[in-house]
Structure 1
Amino acid sequence: MTRGARVGRAALLASALLLAASPALDAAAQSSRETERRLERVRKELRDVAAERRRLEGERGAAARELRQVDERVASSSKALAETRARLAEEHAALERLQARRRELDATVATRRTELAALLRAAYTIGDDAALKLMLAQDRVADAGRLLVYHRYLQQQRSERIATLQAEMVELDGIEARIQDRRAALEAAQTEQRAQLAQVEADRQRRAEAMKGLESRFNDRSAREKALGSDARSLERVLAQLREAARRAEAERRAAAAAERARQAREAREARDSGTAATPR
């Protein structure tokens, strides 16, 4: 192959490299721009999702604190209701004991009244001369006197016992009335506490549902943020590869252009040298 042929072939090769490098550079540049636009969209969505995730995280924390406070109110209301029920049970037991005591007193008073009535009837039957009749009914005056004293003492004792029992019954009536009042107040408090507990439990249920929704949205945004972060890293790697390919293509283009310039300079120099050699001296 002659020198001119070799030079021509090198020129064609350099031109081919330049022609091939230009579309490759354009394609690489286009791919880089598209990848950059996609990366920017992903980054923007990632920023938006991250901001929403942080907002939901704050709302979730506040909702969790409020839910704990409601749990404390539920526990407090349940405790108060349990204490009221216990006090009602105690008052009910006390009332039953009083009523049992009242029945005993009623029976005792009835017995004492029967005994006293019998004594009074006996005294009435004997009449105003009861003392004389009792004395005459005895063989000795001393025995009759003692019997009369005993008779009067028995009447007085039973009358006093009946009065004592009646006073105790009056006192029991007062105690029973106070217990009934306390029971009525406790039952009213129990009704109010039940309503409060139902309201607090309904509030807790509502807040628990809201917390569940926040948790679901937070998890969704967290998963989306993670996926977008992975996409962004993948696009960054692709963009880096495209830029590296563009850099290599640009280097090859510049090398080809430099080779072409060198070839042209060499041809020009050879042409000058050939012209100088052909000129007669």
Structure 2
Amino acid sequence: MRPSRRPPARFPAPPAWAAGCLLGLSLLVPSAPAQNTPRDAEKKLQQVRGELKNVAQERQRLQAEREAASRRLREADQKVARSGRAVADTEAAMRREQQALAGLQQRRATLEANLSRQREQLAALLRGAYRLGNHAPLKLLLSQDRVADANRELAYHRYLQRERARTIASLAGDLQALSANEQEILARSRELEQARAQQREQAAALAEDRRRRAQLAAELDQRYQDRSEREKVLGKDARALEQLLSSLRAAAARAEAER
């Protein structure tokens, strides 16, 4: 008798959901499309989890650097603001000194005009007194009353001369004090001009430092955003792989049970 031949064993076809899981694994693991097994999925899951951990750590590091850069940027903003206020205060002080100098120059013009007028009047008095003094012999020929009037006029001229001389001396003193004030104002103006030049130079340096810090903060923020997006993508991949691995294990367990 011929031995009876057994029909070949037939395994049930995998359900549609298992085929979908295998297709998803093949998309997630392009380097090994032919090995759609739980081991492959688990290996890929471990890789994704490792990269996710690294990306999360890098994101946290970038977060700390970004916060530090933001603090430095705020400090730079404050320095730039203080520098701008210092320049504005110096320029305001320079305007006040210029106004004071203009007032002194106007007062100088008034004093010089008054001094010139007083000198002219004093010169006129001196000429009058000179004429009276040179005609002293003629006074003897005049009557006693005329001589007394001439003496009184001469005394009056001398009084006016003294007053004019005192006025001229006072005006000259005022002009000298005014000149000293002008020199002080000019010296302060030069100091303020130098201070403003230094402050402007410092303000420019602070503005450049602020620009660099802002650029660094923007770069760190962009890198942080990129890492955050990458972390989200890896998180989704990890969850998908976990679901796929669970499905593959379940399918493998049912297949083993059916055998």
TM-score by length of 2: 0.83
The structure that is helix-richer by fraction is 1
**Quick one: distance in 1 between partners of 2:117 and 2:84?**
49
Are residues 1:108 and 2:114 paired? yes
Task: Assess, with a 3 A threshold, how the Cα gap between structure 1 residues 134 and 109 changes in structure 2: closer, same or farther.
Answer: farther
Higher alpha-carbon deviation: 219-228 or 240-249: 240-249
Partner of residue 118 from structure 1, selected from 119, 124, 140: 124
Name the counterpart of 2:224. 218
Contact preservation (8 Å) 2:140, 2:147: no
**Quick one: distance in 1 between partners of 2:94 and 2:216?**
37
Q: How far off its partner does 1:86 sit? A: 0.3
Task: Assess, with a 3 A threshold, how the Cα gap between structure 1 residues 166 and 249 changes in structure 2: closer, same or farther.
Answer: same
Q: How far off its partner does 1:150 sit? A: 2.0
Query: Over aligned residue pairs, what C-alpha RMSD do you find?
Result: 2.8
**Quick one: distance in 1 between partners of 2:194 and 2:136?**
61
Higher alpha-carbon deviation: 161-170 or 115-124: 115-124
Name the counterpart of 2:202. 196
Task: Assess, with a 3 A threshold, how the Cα gap between structure 1 residues 56 and 81 changes in structure 2: closer, same or farther.
Answer: same
Contact preservation (8 Å) 2:69, 2:213: yes
**Quick one: distance in 1 between partners of 2:97 and 2:73?**
36
The equivalences for 1:90-239 within 5 A come to: 90-128=96-134, 133=139, 136=142, 139=145, 143-239=149-245
Contact preservation (8 Å) 1:131, 1:148: no
Aligned residue pairs total 237
Task: Assess, with a 3 A threshold, how the Cα gap between structure 1 residues 132 and 191 changes in structure 2: closer, same or farther.
Answer: farther
Name the counterpart of 1:16. 9
Task: Assess, with a 3 A threshold, how the Cα gap between structure 1 residues 44 and 182 changes in structure 2: closer, same or farther.
Answer: same
Q: How far off its partner does 1:77 sit? A: 0.4
* Structure ID, larger Rg: 1
Unmatched tracts of structure 1, length 5 or more: 1-7, 254-281
The code of the aligned residue for 1:63 comes to A
**Quick one: distance in 1 between partners of 2:135 and 2:49?**
125
Are residues 1:39 and 2:45 paired? yes
The code of the aligned residue for 1:175 comes to N
1:161-213 Cα deviation digits (max 9, x unpaired): 00000000000011111111100100000000000000000000111111111
Contact preservation (8 Å) 2:129, 2:157: no
**Quick one: distance in 1 between partners of 2:137 and 2:171?**
29
Task: Assess, with a 3 A threshold, how the Cα gap between structure 1 residues 202 and 249 changes in structure 2: closer, same or farther.
Answer: same
TM-score by length of 1: 0.77
The code of the aligned residue for 2:78 comes to E
Query: Once the two structures are aligned, what percentage of the paired residues are identical?
Result: 49
Task: Assess, with a 3 A threshold, how the Cα gap between structure 1 residues 140 and 45 changes in structure 2: closer, same or farther.
Answer: same
Contact preservation (8 Å) 2:139, 2:147: no
Unmatched tracts of structure 2, length 5 or more: 16-21, 23-34
The code of the aligned residue for 2:198 comes to E
